[in-house]
Structure 1
Amino acid sequence: MNTIYKKSFLKLSDLNYQEIIYLIKLSKFFKKKKKDKKEKKYLKGKNIVLIFEKQSTRTRCAFEVAAYDQGANTTYLSPTDTHMGYKESIHDTAKVLGKMYDGIQYRGYHDNILKKIQKYSKIPVWNGLTNTFHPTQILADLLTMTETLPKKSIQEITCAYIGDAKNNIANTLLEAANITGLKLNIISPENYWPKKNIRDIKNKKNILYTKNIEKGVYKVDFIYTDVWVSMGDKSMKWKKKIKELYDYQVNQKMLNMTKNSNVKILHCLPALHDKESTLGLKIHKKYNLKNGLEISNNVFFSKKNLCFEQSENRLHTIKALLVSCLHKKKILI
């Protein structure tokens, strides 16, 4: 029985442990079938609308290619392509889309918009990123971790998230730890820990909060980081974050602290590791940085970094999600 059929995926905790494990296994199945060019199309005739209020590279590409591979059609709506919230209510837009499409992806700012779209469209809705959660990313991260350490169960894997943990990645990793038993260390100054209402979902022994880097990274399997600043942030915010978080940069010194020669790096991208982007150049110049911001350039380009594997895995996990939500029968794998 396919228990994910017609479900929405607004946050990772919309699924239970068995459903998450099934999606990871199904992702591996689709990944192999695509590589072998033996993929069967389960979504012929399905129509999916992709609403993007925030810019995207990996999320948009992963949804579009996943849908295409499975025979579905997609419509991309940018902020300038829809009247939603401005000239037309979310209620009205969602009802219209629910009559025309089989599923809706939304990438934007507020979770209450997602919930309204789900409520009024009455079709599966998937969260491509909001300010609070990023479940499609963490699904791909869980796939990446289990692929990298095939002899370990999720409960035996330890991931350290370091830096600015008051964000959607850390929040969703906490959900993953609560559901799957993943061992998770949150490492940052206390004022950068996730908000209290997120931290207090459950108090489990597999979750550690610490500002002590050496303690937090010791013997971990993965170190995960994300950008601290974005183009929309004010310069004063940049200055404060860089001052308070620069000691938490993922670099060779930190890797040595793990005492694990096989430790790997996770990063959901984009990364400010060099001067080859407009924002990267601006920050390196303004703060006289020589070797990256949240991650050093040499570590970013080392074999330790799995960020590009994570990016590819977005395609396979999103494909597994779409098929499970829109195809009634459970795929035998």
Structure 2
Amino acid sequence: MNTHFNGQSFLKEIDFTPAELTYLIDFGLHLKMLKAQHLPHPYLQGKNIALLFEKTSTRTRSAFTVAANDLGAHPEFLGKNDIQLGKKESVSDTAKVLGSMFDGIEFRGFAQATVETLAKDSGVPVWNGLTDKWHPTQMIADFMTLKAHFGHLQGLTLTYVGDGRNNMANSLLVTSAMLGVNIHIGAPTGLQPAADVVALAQTYAQQSGSDILITADPQVAVAGADALYTDVWVSMGEQVDYGERIKQLLPFQINADLVAATGQPETIVMHCLPAFHDHQTVTGAALGQKYQLDAIEITDEVFNSPQAVVFEEAGNRLPAIKAIMAATLGDLFIPDSLF
């Protein structure tokens, strides 16, 4: 009987083995197919799920809510103004209370320490819906997207360009290394991944055969890439000089020239969203007007091109999160021979 997932939390990618991550990716693709065929899959019938949000969210909140409903569970949204988390009640005390009432807890917020404490003290599976360090549920969706497009993961080359110190760069670097995907990070020297994250990725890369390249040259970074990936240039809650950051990162903007520089006709373009690809948002318009730019990290032309898979990728957040919740809380039979 499988014990790989049962009752486990998913706080960062390395909580599971590469084989287990591969299972979650494949299970996510399977659950996506079931939903498309209108086949019910209520693996969490009668369970109650707490959704804790310190940070605002579109995709993560929507995906956890719909995933819980599709699986037969009851989600309860607890926003930062709804409970006392860390303000009038410690994270540990909150964890114990929620663990006595709920079967699983999702947390999206700032400190990785918060989600780790929730997992340690609640006694139920806890899922990291994003912290400042890692974004593991996004990884299952992203690698589902890659696998659906290319039919395999091993040996693909993924290039991430932009702010190389954020949670997305960290997670893509480590997950790619775990799964045998070559990972290139294109970022200015001052915005490259922290040494501990690089060392962790290198440990896995030695096992998987993944090539890791971290460079300040955007042309070198994108050469041979099967997929180009970027994220916003300033993370939620980060206090920086926007003008300085834009000047640093403009050479790493995903535009038609950078896509052409991959030398790969089949390159796909990814983004975890939201994206400042035009002036249709308050922030995008303000930045665009102030710095005379039509777009920030990705041009509208590329964002809306046939090569961009950003909305398929966003949609995959649902089956990815469904797979994670069902595997860890659904008492599924998963043969040990898979691992």
TM-score in same-fold range (> 0.5): yes
CA distance in 1, matches of 2:91, 2:136: 22
Which residue number corresponds to residue 82 of structure 2?
A: 81
Q: Confirm or deny that 1:226 pairs with 2:227.
A: no
Q: Confirm or deny that 1:253 pairs with 2:257.
A: yes
- CA shift at 1:231, angstroms? 6.8
- CA shift at 1:89, angstroms? 1.2
Q: Confirm or deny that 1:20 pairs with 2:21.
A: yes
CA distance in 2, matches of 1:239, 1:131: 22
Which residue number corresponds to residue 303 of structure 2?
A: 300
- CA shift at 1:232, angstroms? 4.5
2:312 to 290, 309, 314: 309
Tell me which moved more, 180-189 or 194-203.
Answer: 194-203
| Secondary structure in 2 matching 1:330 | coil
| Secondary structure in 2 matching 1:228 | coil
- CA shift at 1:227, angstroms? 0.4
| Secondary structure in 1 matching 2:45 | coil
Which residue number corresponds to residue 161 of structure 2?
A: 162
Which residue number corresponds to residue 209 of structure 1?
A: 214
| Secondary structure in 2 matching 1:154 | coil
Q: How does 1:49-60 map to 2 (within 5 A)?
A: 49-60=50-61
Q: Do 1:324 and 1:330's aligned partners in 2 also have CA atoms closer than 8 Å?
A: no
Q: Do 2:95 and 2:118's aligned partners in 1 also have CA atoms closer than 8 Å?
A: yes
Q: Do 1:30 and 1:39's aligned partners in 2 also have CA atoms closer than 8 Å?
A: no
Q: Confirm or deny that 1:283 pairs with 2:284.
A: no
CA distance in 2, matches of 1:89, 1:232: 22
Which residue number corresponds to residue 181 of structure 2?
A: 182
1:268 to 263, 272, 288: 272
Q: Confirm or deny that 1:43 pairs with 2:44.
A: yes
CA distance in 2, matches of 1:288, 1:114: 40
CA distance in 2, matches of 1:191, 1:271: 23
CA distance in 2, matches of 1:179, 1:18: 9
Q: Do 1:27 and 1:320's aligned partners in 2 also have CA atoms closer than 8 Å?
A: yes
Q: Deviations over 1:83-140 (max 9, x none)?
A: 1111111111110101101100000000111111111101100000000000000110
Q: Do 1:177 and 1:206's aligned partners in 2 also have CA atoms closer than 8 Å?
A: no
Question: Which residue identity does 2:94 align to in structure 1?
Answer: T
Percent of aligned pairs sharing the same letter = 40
CA distance in 2, matches of 1:201, 1:20: 16
Question: Which residue identity does 2:288 align to in structure 1?
Answer: H
Question: Which residue identity does 2:165 align to in structure 1?
Answer: K
Tell me which moved more, 320-329 or 124-133.
Answer: 320-329
Q: Confirm or deny that 1:124 pairs with 2:125.
A: yes
Q: 1:118 to 1:232 in 2, by over 3 A?
A: closer
Which residue number corresponds to residue 326 of structure 1?
A: 329
CA distance in 2, matches of 1:45, 1:135: 26
CA distance in 2, matches of 1:96, 1:306: 41
- CA shift at 1:202, angstroms? 4.4
CA distance in 2, matches of 1:35, 1:325: 23
| Secondary structure in 1 matching 2:160 | strand
Question: Which residue identity does 1:55 align to in structure 2?
Answer: T
| Secondary structure in 2 matching 1:140 | helix
CA distance in 2, matches of 1:30, 1:230: 31
Q: 1:233 to 1:42 in 2, by over 3 A?
A: closer
Q: Do 1:4 and 1:325's aligned partners in 2 also have CA atoms closer than 8 Å?
A: yes
Q: 1:68 to 1:80 in 2, by over 3 A?
A: same
User: Which consecutive segments of 4 or more residues in structure 1 shift more than 6 A?
Assistant: none
Q: Do 1:231 and 1:279's aligned partners in 2 also have CA atoms closer than 8 Å?
A: no
Q: 1:233 to 1:170 in 2, by over 3 A?
A: closer
- CA shift at 1:14, angstroms? 0.4
Which residue number corresponds to residue 171 of structure 1?
A: 170
Question: Which residue identity does 1:58 align to in structure 2?
Answer: R
What is the count of residue pairs matched by the alignment?
329
Q: Do 2:272 and 2:313's aligned partners in 1 also have CA atoms closer than 8 Å?
A: yes
CA distance in 2, matches of 1:230, 1:91: 27
Which residue number corresponds to residue 195 of structure 2?
A: 196
Question: Which residue identity does 1:297 align to in structure 2?
Answer: D
Q: Do 1:249 and 1:293's aligned partners in 2 also have CA atoms closer than 8 Å?
A: yes
| Secondary structure in 1 matching 2:200 | coil
Q: Which runs of 5+ in 1 are unaligned?
A: none
- CA shift at 1:189, angstroms? 1.1
CA distance in 1, matches of 2:37, 2:173: 35
- CA shift at 1:327, angstroms? 1.4
Question: Which residue identity does 1:295 align to in structure 2?
Answer: I
CA distance in 2, matches of 1:295, 1:331: 41
TM-score (norm 2): 0.94
Tell me which moved more, 203-212 or 37-46.
Answer: 203-212
| Secondary structure in 1 matching 2:119 | helix
- CA shift at 1:178, angstroms? 2.7
Question: Which residue identity does 1:239 align to in structure 2?
Answer: G
- CA shift at 1:230, angstroms? 5.1
Q: Deviations over 1:279-307 (max 9, x none)?
A: 001001111113x1100111111111111
